Amino acid sequence: MTPTQTGTPTETPTITPTPVGYDVTFRLLIKQTPIAGAPLNFGFTTALTDLSGEVHLNVPSDRDVSVSSVLPVIEFTPFYDTAANFAGRSPVNIDARRLVEPLPGICSVTVGSEDHVFFPYENLTDQAMSVPLMYNLLNRMLSPTGEAVPPELFAPGLVGNGFTVPKRLLYNGSSYAGAWQFIGTTNLLPESLPVCSDNGTAPTCDRVSELSLQRLFDYPRALIIKLGDASVRLAKARKWKPAGNARGPFYTRGVKSLARIRALMQRLAGPNYMCPTVPPQCRVVQVPKAEFLSAFKIIYTGSVPKGLLTLKKTQKAEVKRYQAILKALPEQVTKCN
């Protein structure tokens, strides 16, 4: 006889609770203007801001959210928090800045044999910035023909940058009309289109190498270290007896020299350009070459112990080398606000 089993336990399936979702709104602003069509990265997803500059997300409660810009041209410091904290302060404003800025001064230029319109801009970085045309709310041209197209790549520098569009693409049959819309700005063609200030040719400026300017400081600094080390070696060889700092008078005077050179370099702080004509928003600054040379000579000014005379004799050659560094620089530079 087969026994009948009774009271068999029934297994209850384990139910994993679905995390509670939080609704969070992020709002992208530049100078209080909502930025539409900008891609943002939230760690677990990317999304474009809507026409109000907002992204609406439902975030699981167990997830942290990191927020960063997809396009480097839209800059803000990345940040993160828990979904609950973001929800508690929603809408979350993201204050950003444009690293490429359209400028006033739209004008007429001749490219080859055809009339064009020149749209100026400045790139606040030392790298080319990209705004692909796929993000059409961020970078587009409005024109009567619908054929005008802005560039996707924007060259570095504050002066002389811009792009041109053939005038015929901005003609509506009786007058010229159009606008360049770029990351929250609208740059309309003026009713009366002036000729660009340099006789109808798009302005160009060359940026002065920051490395060439930095050599004004780096070369004497390396020389002072070299002279100080040599002074220590001569002291150990009993060629001279230090009364104080074993690195000797060259090092002591070198500290004063570098302080003076650093102060002079403050006049040239920031981007510097060489421009054939000075744009209206810019100014000319003289490169104080004579003052730099005078500051450099402080290293060798004054008497030295007899045991250091061999080092003192390097003055003539080193001054010539520093003069060569100065000679490679322009007499003046253009700086722009």
pLDDT, tens digit (0-9, with 9 covering 90-100), for 303-327: 999 999 999 999 999 999 999 999 9
CA distance linking residue 18 with residue 60, whole number of Å: 9
Q: Look up the CATH superfamily of 21-98.
A: Carboxypeptidase-like, regulatory domain (2.60.40.1120)
For every residue of 42-73, which 3-state class applies, written as one string?
CCCCEEECCCCCEEEEEEECCCEEEEEECCCC
pLDDT, tens digit (0-9, with 9 covering 90-100), for 139-169: 999 999 899 999 998 888 766 688 889 999 9
**114, β-bridge pairs:** 111
Residue 83 makes CB contacts below 8 A (sequence gap 6+) with 21, 22, 24, 59, 60, 61, 62, 63, 64, 65
Considering the chain, tell me which residue range(s) the CATH 2.60.40.1120 domain(s) occupy: 21-98
pLDDT, tens digit (0-9, with 9 covering 90-100), for 251-300: 999 999 999 999 999 999 878 888 766 766 678 899 999 999 999 999 99
Q: Identify the residue with better confidence: 325 or 176.
A: 325
* Burial degree of 109 (CB within 10 A; 0-12, 13-18, 19+): buried
